Structure 1
Amino acid sequence: MANIVQFENVGLRYGTGEETLSDVSFTLASGSFYFLTGASGAGKTSLLKLLYLAQRPTRGLIRLFGEDAVTLPRKRLPGFRRRIGVVFQDFRLVPHLSAYDNIALPLRVSGVSNSDIVAPVREMLAWVGLSERAAAKPPTLSGGEQQRVAIARAVIGRPEMLVADEPTGNVDPDMAERLLHLFESLNRLGTTVVVATHDFHLLGRIPNAQMMRLDGGKLLDPTGALRIPPPFAA
């Protein structure tokens, strides 16, 4: 499989402090499933921000969909971001829109007609167990319900890559497993999935998933040793 993401010697620093991420190098194969693990403060959210282009690295190379994402012109960012579904820890739902309209938003932004939106949105509402809450607005939803709306919104457009930051943190174990199966189904359709989690009970739920582990902003190999960053490509 071709690589959809390539990081080489990537470092990220906020302000003048120490690096949050240091010498991070890896590739993500198109159509694969990855768990990103690590203790709180290890750099998981920062790494995800680089993946969905919310942050540019301080140094190093990032290639995304075969292009240099570090020097990507700002005017091309919206088009790139539409190829990536994101599940945020803080949900980021539009408070004045219903659950239905929040989920429909990516399709509307992409120019899908209202008549073609109805069926997929209803299907997603059923998948996440919120069919009867379609008209409810985020302030009236529980944290777990808001999380499920956020996940449905992220996957409805069948993105090329899905990035999820602790997506099961606000739901019960049964719903967590159901949502993981939703991610797995999307992965089977060809979407590359990256799920950041500190819940090690989830790691064995996806048989073919690979694991990346961060410790203090550095990427470890499966044995727990630091990965040796490769030299820059010519």
Structure 2
Amino acid sequence: MGLRYGTGAEVLAGLDFRLAPGSFYFLTGPSGAGKTSLLKLLYLAQRPTRGRLRLFGEDLSEAPRSALPEFRRRIGVVFQDFRLVRHLSAFDNVALPLRIAGQSDREIEGPVREMLAWVGLADRASARPPTLSGGEQQRVAIARAVIARPELLVADEPTGNVDAAMADRLIHLFEALNRLGTTVVVATHDLSLIARVPGARLMRLENGQLADPTGELRHPPTNLAAEAGR
């Protein structure tokens, strides 16, 4: 599988890999190696210009655009630039995936409040993104990505704007989600994060090519809130 933008050289070339369901991966590599481009393939913002891409058992390389939103709803994404809806409160940003899934305000209230408390923003629920710091926006973006327990979570430098204590807390949240069965892919420059997740697999990109992932599979239990609260 390969990816190029326009008529330029391929930014990703010769990719041939499979993500084991329910596994936790760290994606590393130098700046410019293609990490963000690989993540874009995984959350269907780009499709390969060469080769095939299968997600959730379906070949999506040439699927009609109208079919992609259904698959994207099964993916949680933490973007480097957050991509929060500026005119919505932190609460409503986090609630978006649940509302799109058709849940009522009554069903949404408790889980969203609990998630905001977990990421340290219980007192900022009514704040809009322009009034939040970069680290606070990052935490809202992470809460939004995990609130609906996606089948695949893709995170691009998710701890880059928070302190070490909050980074630990967020990684624990990703671990809890992973134990519930979500496949997690975290792109990071912070190699110290890898040691915090026993059994995580490591994928390394260099010059648009991917090294073989290593590590052990993880085993899913049952309750995200309980697991994250350990």
- Do the structures match in fold with TM over 0.5? yes
SS in 1 for 2:45: coil
Deviations 1:111-147 (A, max 9, x none): 1001000000011001100000001000000000000
In the superposition, the TM-score normalised over structure 1's length comes to 0.90
Q: Tell me whether 1:185 sits opposite 2:172 in the alignment.
A: no
Report how far residue 71 of structure 1 moved: 1.6
Equivalents in 1 of 2:202, 2:86: separation in Å?
35
Partner residue, 2:125: 134
Give SS of 1:39's match. Answer: coil
Match of 1:30? 21
- Amino acid of the residue matched to residue 221 of structure 1? D
Match of 2:86 in 1: 95
Q: Does 1:213 align with 2:204?
A: yes
- Alpha-carbon distance in 1 for matches of 2:11, 2:28: 15
Establish whether residue 196 from structure 1 lines up as the match of residue 202 from structure 2: no
Letter in 1 for 2:24: F
1:132-175 CA-to-partner distances (Å, cap 9, x unmatched) read 00010000000000000000000000000000000000000110
Distance 1:202 1:94 in 2: 29
**Which residue is 2:2 aligned to?**
11
What residue in structure 1 maps to residue 223 of structure 2?
none
Offset at 1:222? Answer: 6.3
| Partner of residue 53 from structure 1, selected from 36, 44, 56 | 44
Letter in 2 for 1:206: V
Q: TM-score, normalised by structure 2?
A: 0.92
> Cα RMSD (Å) of the superposition?
1.0
2:74 matches 1:74: no
- Count, aligned residues: 214
Name the % identity: 75
| Corresponding residue to 1:144 among 135, 141, 158 | 135
The ranges of structure 1 where at least 4 consecutive aligned residues each deviate by more than 2 angstroms after the TM superposition are none
CA distance in 1, matches of 2:24, 2:203: 11
Deviation for aligned residue 1:221: 3.3
In 2, the alpha carbon distance for the partners of 1:79 and 1:126 equals 29
**What runs of 5+ residues in structure 1 fail to find an aligned partner?**
1-9, 224-234
Higher strand share: 1
Tell me which residue corresponds to 1:156: 147
CA contact (8 A) 2:3 2:50 kept: yes
SS in 2 for 1:61: coil
SS at structure 2 position matched to 1:147: helix
The answer to which structure has the higher helix fraction is 2
Once the two structures are superposed, residues 176-220 of structure 1 have per-residue CA deviations (whole angstroms, 9 ceiling, x without a partner) of 010000000000000000000010110111001000000010112
- Give the 3-state SS of the residue equivalent to 2:51 in structure 1: strand
